[in-house]
Structure 1
Amino acid sequence: MLESALHVPEEEQIGNVDELDRVVDADMQVQETPAALVEHMDDSTGAHRVVSLTDLQHDMIYAGPSSYPLYEYKRTNGSGDPVAESSVDEVIGADDVAGRAATADIDAGVINPTLNLGLSEVNNDRFAVALASAYNDWLLSQLDEHSNLVGNAVVAPQHPTRAAEEIDRLADEDDIVGVQLPASGLLPPPGHRQYEPLYDAAEAHDLPIAMKSTVGNKSFGQQYWWAQSFPEDFVYQYGFVQMRNLTSLLFEGVPERYDIDFVIQGAGVGFVPFITYRLDDHYLELGYEIPALSKLPSAYLSESFYWTTQPMNQPAHGQPQFAAMVNMVGPENVLFASDLPQGVSDLPEDVLDRLSETLTAGELQKVMSENTERIYGL
């Protein structure tokens, strides 16, 4: 049996969402579509023409032959009924997200893309830049009427100089609080020197960088093509993508050179102790190959990296694996995330159910709102 590191006396526990000062979600999503984005593109460009004329827009523009439609439209509730309430071709905008957040007792949230989490795998860098800019303009138009919602601006890593220009363009927008660097399919990986203009711009504007993976793309070439079913691909993608990116960021010295907070989304916290110990161990054994660092990788992870709770990957009333992992990582580095409006989401009450016995009221408030407020300046 896995015992948690701490048991908070019952009288000191936060038992329900109403007892929290505030709930702030570090990872909510809109669902943009190519049809919505094309309205924000210059109609004289090749990108506008290609998006306008392509029927299989998700597959052909973003990832080539892949597992799209997006994964939520493949999943069922166990009885064969889809968990998604809408088609992948339907826009889910800020109005819908705000309504679902209110129903879930979420007071505020940071919005991220859905379709554009696959932006890193767009083959044409000019198209990628145009798609990023169109999404950001569309997002701003969505957020105008929602004071409790802000967003991460997506950038095209294929063209770091243009990505930096996009950050400069949007940095003064009150509704933009961070940068989304799509984690899947980053070639080269994010520690490479070619991304320096992007990091320079993020640091100059004091914007955190969020990194979220997606599924059904070609992120792991050989592994992806040999996956004979969607679940084979889905199980490992999120964690493996983030571990590859983290290793590159750390061993190439990005957090040594830049004062940037990184928010790692969508992979949960279960993999974090493993990758932390693995990074430290290999740094201690092979540090002469890693001159970019002046201290253990775990020190940088503690100072500059944050992990969202979703997915918890633990059933209710089970053993306290999730709580134990949060304690190992440190509540000061964990951010509540629901992944709303996806059909399978972790709601505030679910997170409290698994953490209330092992985290103090102050630690719970950090996880549920204060850490996200501090990182994003909310």
Structure 2
Amino acid sequence: MDARTPPPELPEIGPRTNSLDILAHGKAQAARRGFDRTFIVDVDSHIGESGNWPEVLKYIENDATREAAFTFGGGTGQGAFLNDIPGLQWQSAHGRIPHGSGLKEPAPDGLPKPVSLARRAMDALSLDYQVFFPNGLLFLGMHPVREMEVELATAYNRWIVEEVLPHEPRMKAMLYLPFNVPDAAEAMVKRFIGAPGVVGFLVTSTRYQAVHANEYMRTYAMLEEAGMPIGFHAHHNWHNEYTKQLNRFISMHALSFVLSNLVHLTNWVINGLPERFPKLKTIWIESGLAWVPFLMQRLDHEYLMRRSEAPLLKRLPSEYMREMFYTSQPMEAQNMKLLEGTFEAINAETQLLYASDWPHWDFDVPSTIFDLPFLSDTGRRNILGYNAARLFNLEVPARYGQMAAE
């Protein structure tokens, strides 16, 4: 397709619509902006592993659990042991926003389907790397059976490392930590650290576990020593006592993705973890950006009045927060003046990471960052790719020349 020719309009987007057609506008934008000459890393994408769930189940290491899993789904194992949460079925907006049915398009190239679909997205958006996370596991932190979280997380991580990553060097994974069982989270890091294609570890933020609990300190220390970042990935939660008061999906979606990371980041900073682990990099994922300056101001205000309650801190909370990493999606871009102030507050030119959240319904293409009028060229290139290269120790292809300044 010629970059000057507008993509054809899709009369309908369904589960079997080719993702290349869904991404046609993004591909055209990439061509017009010369993204083939721009180093781009997407640090938040999701693979649709639901169709591969029976393959994941084969990696369950407890024989009894694995056998029981294949009594689900008429003997297929489909959906076995996953815990659903209220709200997922409300994401589709009755024909206007399709979501939840997954990408069921054919992928006849002989590769694992998640790899084929990831390649299509990377090629369409001109991505050099794509960091992906579990999709069906985003709400696993609320599983009522804690040992099941451990078993499913182990199986999923093995499947990723053994069946997905070997096929595509541009795909990189942050592996799931079963955070409800601290010893298991520690064991997961020990087991998979250094595995090819693994660039970090992930905590799904929808859970009720205090991130500053002493039981997690060995895990953080191991990650710091290995130079591996830890990410906190938000998700919605409509059965929290606060969000249960909200009567529309739009309200719950707007607040719950922020609420979990508000709590976890506050505990992280006020309890002095940046001082205890000064080289451990943290990433706050899929909460947008508008909440960060709000929390900076709130915590600074409280800290200046009650320093004795945060004795480990040597600086203002906001100063630690400006050294953390944040993903861009979903970026609140309705007011450019406010957005520019947010970028300044969080040191975006060195700390912000481009994220698409593909293939979810509110995904952002790279032009979302590229077109911002207030960014310097260096800042634009950093956010689109070089910040991620620095964080994840990714190799920058020689054709891009020198890395942008930090």
Residues of 2 paired with 1:287 and 1:49: CA distance? 54
> Paired residue for 1:151?
173
| Partner Cα distance (2:258, 2:243) in 1 | 14
CA–CA distance in structure 2, aligned partners of residues 93 and 235 of structure 1: 29
Would you say the 8 A contact 1:262–1:306 is kept in 2?
A: yes
- Write the deviation string for residues 45-76 of structure 1: whole angstroms up to 9, x where unpaired: 33x3454334599999444552234x65x246
CA contact (8 A) 1:309 1:336 kept: yes
> In 2, Cα distance between the equivalents of 1:115 and 1:85?
11
| More deviation, 37-46/112-121 | 37-46
Task: Report the Cα distance in structure 1 between the residues aligned to 2:344 and 2:36, rounded to whole angstroms.
Answer: 21
Q: Give SS of 2:201's match.
A: strand
The answer for unaligned runs of 5 or more in structure 2 is 1-31, 106-111, 395-406
Aligned-pair CA distance for 1:86: 4.2
Who is 2:307 aligned against? 287
1:359 corresponding residue in structure 2: 375
Residue of structure 2 aligned with 1:373, choices 361, 364, 389: 389
Contact 1:112 1:152 in 2 (8 A): yes
Equivalent runs, 1:100-249 vs 2, <5 Å:
100-140=121-161, 141-185=163-207, 187-216=208-237, 218=239, 221-249=240-268
Partner of 1:40: 59
Query: Would you say 1:308 and 2:330 are equivalent positions?
Result: no
Per the alignment, residue 5 of structure 1 pairs with none
Aligned length: 350
* Cα drift, residue 197 of structure 1: 2.8
Distance between the aligned counterparts of 2:137 and 2:71, measured in 1? Answer: 19
Cα distance change of structure 1 residues 213 and 375 upon mapping to structure 2, 3 Å threshold: same
Once the two structures are superposed, what CA deviation does each residue of 1:259-316 show, in whole Å capped at 9, x if it has no partner?
210111101211111111111111111111111222211222223x11111001335x
Q: Provide the rounded CA distance (Å) in 2 between the counterparts of 1:67 and 1:60.
A: 20
Q: Deviations over 1:9-61 (max 9, x none)?
A: xxxxxx93438530111111112234342122136133x34543345999994
Give structure 1 stretches of 5+ with no counterpart.
Answer: 1-14
Instruction: Using structure 1 for the length normalisation, give the TM-score.
Output: 0.85
Q: Offset at 1:88? A: 7.9
Contact 2:211 2:267 in 1 (8 A): yes
- Identify if the C-alpha distance between structure 1 residues 42 and 166 changes in structure 2 by more than 3 Å, giving closer, same or farther: same
Opposite residue 26 of structure 1, the aligned amino acid is: V
Q: 1:328 to 1:286 in 2, by over 3 A?
A: same
Q: Which residue of 2 aligns with 1:8?
A: none
Residues 238-257 of structure 1: CA deviation (Å, up to 9, x unaligned): 11111111101111111111
The percent identity for this pair of structures is: 20
> Which one has more relative contact order, counting CA pairs under 8 Å at least 6 apart?
1
Letter in 2 for 1:333: Q
How far does the alpha carbon of each residue in 1:213-247 deviate from its partner, in whole angstroms, 9 at most, with x for none? 111454xx212333333223212011111111110
Aligned position for 1:4: none
| Change in 2 beyond 3 A, CA 1:35/1:59 | closer
**Candidates 300, 311, 323, aligned match of 2:340:** 323
User: Does structure 1 residue 268 correspond to structure 2 residue 288?
Assistant: yes
Contact 1:111 1:151 (8 Å CA) reproduced = yes
2-side partners of 1:121 and 1:20: how far apart? 43
Deviations 1:152-201 (A, max 9, x none): 0111001111111111111121210100111111x232122222232122
CA distance in 2, matches of 1:24, 1:175: 14
SS of equivalent to 2:200: strand
Q: Distance in 2 between matches of 1:232 and 1:60?
A: 30
Provide TM-score, normalisation by structure 2: 0.79
Aligned counterparts of 1:359 and 1:193: Cα–Cα separation in 2:
41
The 1-side partners of 2:103 and 2:234 are apart by 18
Matched residue type, 1:166: M
Aligned to 1:343: 361
| 2:289–2:332 Cα contact (<8 Å) kept | no
2:86 maps to: 66
SS at structure 1 position matched to 2:157: helix
